[in-house]
């Protein structure tokens, strides 16, 4: 089958690294600027807007938009893999399709703050505190466990390099959670 779409992984990775470095520097600049004393009202407002736009712990800002966009891109690419697997009668077509839907949900959740809506009801219902103060991590943890177990055979079917990249990416994503940061 002739390739219709060609993506140069190294070039694409370089672009993503540049964007991530920019966002990291903008976040660091915002953190620094947030500590600077300014007397001019206009400059204070500009500084506060900049800080909010690049706060990695904030919601509804450029960093959250980037995160939602990359999750949507992952969903799209996983969907393409599922379609190609289906056209070639490949293994694990359904797994790729479900991964695409999971990443689509994660993208929508990041943009629409769906998990935020679960915090208060779950906290009140189960009297949560400490590590579980943000109650959404309970259903999210269960979902990760269920999907992880359901995908073990799929994971071991992948080529070794791809399997390790999946595991590293998942570890980085899941390891990014810190209690107190929703």
Q: What percent of the chain has pLDDT over 70?
A: 93
List pLDDT tens digits, range 7-29: 788 898 999 999 999 999 999 99
- How confident is the model at residue 175, as a pLDDT? 74
pTM of the model: 0.84
- Kindly tell me the sign of the dihedral angle through the C-alpha atoms of 134, 75, 107, 57: positive
* Cβ atoms 59, 53 nearer than 8 A: no
């Amino acid at each position: 089958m002739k390739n219709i779409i060609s993506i140069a992984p190294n070039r694409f990775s370089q672009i993503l690294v540049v964007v991530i470095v920019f966002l990291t520097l903008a976040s660091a600049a915002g953190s620094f600027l947030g500590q600077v004393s300014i007397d001019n009202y206009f400059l204070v407002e500009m500084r506060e807007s900049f800080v909010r736009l690049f706060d990695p712990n904030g919601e509804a800002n450029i960093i959250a938009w980037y995160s939602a966009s990359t999750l949507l891109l992952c969903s799209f690419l996983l969907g393409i893999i599922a379609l190609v697997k289906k056209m070639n009668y490949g293994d694990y077509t359904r797994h790729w399709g479900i991964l695409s839907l999971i990443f689509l949900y994660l993208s929508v959740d990041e943009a629409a703050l769906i998990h935020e809506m679960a915090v208060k009801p779950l906290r009140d219902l189960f009297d949560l505190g400490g590590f579980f103060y943000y109650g959404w991590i309970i259903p999210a943890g269960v979902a990760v466990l269920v999907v992880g177990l359901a995908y073990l055979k799929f994971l071991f079917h992948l080529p070794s390099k791809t399997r390790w990249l999946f595991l590293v990416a998942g570890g980085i994503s899941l390891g990014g959670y810190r209690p107190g940061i929703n």
